Structure 1
Amino acid sequence: MRILLVEDNHALADGLSAILRGTGHAVDVVGDGASASAATAAEAFDLVILDLTLPEMDGLEVLRAMRARQNRSAVLILTARGAAEDKVKGLDLGADDYMSKPFDISEFEARVRMLLRRQAGLRSSALSFGGVDLDLNSRTFSAGGVPLDIPARELGLLEILFMRAGKVVSKEAIIQSLAAFDDDLSANAIEQYVSRLRKRIAPHGLTVRTARGIGYYLDKAAPA
């Protein structure tokens, strides 16, 4: 999943981005409201974590501009402005959740997981397709109760396809989900990840099929 973190406290931004990247997400970080507004206008994010007190443009104005553009990214407001009035304004403008600083990291992680599940239209953190299971909380795949050892990029790709099993996902959508601003991720690289992933999941009855000119989708493999 791709996340935009909007935070002008550099130490906090570094810490939160490290936590989010450590759980496999592509994370972009900006430190002012104008950059946040420009990023959300130009790029697609699954989740925006938004401070309110920002240089150049207030976080509520960033949120207002996002929703005016019909941007449907999930938004978690994370701010020291904990007054009820600010919370009501943020939720009324279209924020999905609101946390006041200081906050508990484990609660923050849980809320991020909840919002990403909701964004993907999922009610449960446990998914199954074919003979493979996905635990969204731990972002681990298993088959027959045995964890699958999958490198980070391929794991991210499988997660994207697994959460939309049977539906075509475009190459561009995959690149958007896996790549941050500073990542150089090409369509050719995606093809290589798909090829490697096919070999890893073939023993478990799954495959990645190509929708020519469009993208890829996860499917059950034909019996040998």
Structure 2
Amino acid sequence: MISRILFLVATLLANAACASEPVSELIEEQARNHYGAAVPLEAEITVMTTSGTLSKAVGISAFWIDRKSGKFLANAVSSDGNEHRIAGYAVVTKKVAVPTRKIFPGAILTDADLKVIDVPHMRVGTFSVTDLNALVGKEVKSLLSPGRQIMAQAIREPLAIKRGDQVSIHFRVNRLELSAPGRALNDAQLGEPLKVVNIMSNKIVLGVARPDGNVEIMQ
């Protein structure tokens, strides 16, 4: 009781030198202090009030939060020295890129396919790909649902060559370079090995996928 009175007195004295601040910012500061190292550097704290109408205060005289749910109770001190009970949730959130629509396998993700939303940190999957920049340009391997997190196993680098594609086979030895038309026998990303059949000799050779449908024969 005495400590609270001292806090109110100190708050009133400080109020002469400083202006009121948004209650949400004061609560966020309190929540960060309580969460401590549990809040990742890239995460944010989203404050939602369920009761209490005070928008600005000079300080928080008492604060309690349930770390699991984010539910909090706070006593905010207004500029006239009165305490106001504020209740709500201060949830640790992380920005996550999710699909804006249903996306089928084989599609290449673009900016228009994705949006960024705030997701409670505890609900972000271990294998979720959250960064929009890390998703754009990737090929979809399995069906993506709108608003759902994208797992790492659901995307991949686009295929450079697909099974059945007509390719150009290249073989180099010192300054000698030979080429022949071929057909891919399996899918491959850039730099991945694949089997191709030399259409001229009908022989199967092993090569490496290069850009523009080229295959470099492995020596």
Bucket of the pairwise TM-score, normalised by the shorter protein: under 0.3
TM-score of the pair, normalised by structure 2? 0.24
Structure showing greater radius of gyration is 2
TM-score of the pair, normalised by structure 1? 0.23
